[in-house]
Amino acid sequence: MKNTTIYLALVIVSVLSSCKKETKRTDLSIGNLTISPSHLHAGEMATINYTGKDSLTESIFYYMVNNKTYPVDINFSEEKAAIVHIPDSAQALAFQFKKHEGFDNNNEQGYLVTLLNAQDNEIPGSKAALANFCLSYWGANQGIKKDKDSLILDIKQAIEKHPELKDTWHITYLSYNYRNNPENGKALINEQINTILQKPDATEADFKQAVSLSGTIRNKALSDSITEITISKFPNSELANMKLSNAFFTERDPDKQLKIFEESGHNFNNRYKDYALSTIARNMVGKRDYEGFTKYASQISNKQSLAMTYNNFAWDLVQKDENLEFAENISKQSIDIIQNLKNDSSTKPEYQTKNQYKKSLQGNYVMFADTYAWILFKLEKVKEAITYQEEITQNLEIGKNDPHNLKQRLIEFLVADKQFEKAQKKAELFIRNAASNDKMLPYYKEAYVNNNGSEDGYKTHLESLKNEAKNIVLAKYKKEMLDEEAPNFKLKNLEGKEIALSDLKDKVVVLDFWATWCGPCKASFPGMQTAINKYKDNPNVVFLFVDTRERGTPEEILKNAQDFITKNKYTFNVVLDTKAKATDTDFEVVSNYKVNGIPTKIIIGSDGRIKFKSVGYNGSPDKLVNELDIMIRLAQS
* Averages of pLDDT over each 10 residues, the chain, 637 residues: 41 41 69 96 96 92 96 95 97 94 90 95 97 94 92 97 96 94 93 94 92 94 93 87 87 93 87 93 92 96 96 96 97 98 91 95 97 98 98 87 91 98 98 92 98 96 94 88 93 96 95 96 96 95 96 92 96 93 74 89 96 88 89 92
Domain-located, residue 235: no
Which of 428, 443, 477 is a domain's end point? 477
- Cα–Cα dist 85/111, whole Å: 17
Closest CA to 447 of 429, 465, 467, 422: 422
Does a structural domain hold residue 197?
Answer: no
Q: In terms of domains, do 499 and 468 share one?
A: no
The pLDDT value recorded for residue 585 is 65
Q: Which residues contact 208 (CB under 8 A, 6 or more apart)?
A: 230, 237, 238, 239
Question: Is the pTM value of this prediction over 0.85?
Answer: no
- Same domain (yes/no): 469, 488: no
Interior angle at CA 103, CA 100 and CA 105, nearest 5: 160
Instruction: Tell me if 501 is assigned to some domain.
Output: yes
278, 280, 281, 285 alpha-carbon torsion, rounded to 10°: 130
Residues 523 and 446 grouped into a single domain: no
Q: Are residues 422 and 314 in the same domain?
A: yes
3-state secondary structure 24-39: CCCCEEECCEEEECCC
> Does the CA dihedral 31-37-41-44 come out positive or negative?
negative
Contact 414, 382 (CB under 8 A): no
Q: Is residue 503 part of a domain?
A: yes
Both 356 and 472 in a single domain? Answer: yes
Alpha helices in 347-404 (DSSP H): 354-378, 382-392
Residue 485 per-residue DSSP state: E
CA dihedral 209, 214, 220, 226 (to 10 degrees): -50
Whether residue 237 is contained in a domain is answered as no
Let me know whether 501 and 461 are in one domain. Answer: no
Same-domain check for residues 403 and 362: yes
3-state SS assignment for residue 172: helix
404 domain-assigned: yes
Which of 426, 443, 477 is where one domain is finished?
477
- Residue pair 117/154 in contact (Cβ under 8 Å)? The answer is no
Are 467 and 603 members of one domain?
no
Structural domain contains residue 326: yes
Distance CA 249, CA 231 (A): 19
Domain shared by 438 and 380, yes or no: yes
Residue ending a domain, among 427, 445, 477, is 477
| 405: CATH | 1.25.40.10
Residue 562 included in any domain: yes
- The number of angstroms, rounded, from the C-alpha of 325 to the middle of its chain's C-alpha atoms is 36
Predicted local distance difference test score (pLDDT) of residue 600: 95
Number of folded domains that form the chain: 2
**Statement to judge: residues 492 and 468 lie in one domain:** no
Same domain, 350 and 325: yes
**Are 469 and 337 in a shared domain?**
yes
The span from the first CA to the last CA of the chain, in angstroms, equals 86
Q: How many CB atoms lie within 10 A of CB 298?
A: 14
Host domain of residue 394: 267-477
How much is the pLDDT for 269? 83
Asked if residues 545 and 527 have their Cβ atoms less than 8 Å apart, the reply is no
Residue type, 236: N
What distance separates the 2 farthest-apart alpha carbons in the chain?
A: 109
Q: Domain containing 604 — which CATH number?
A: 3.40.30.10
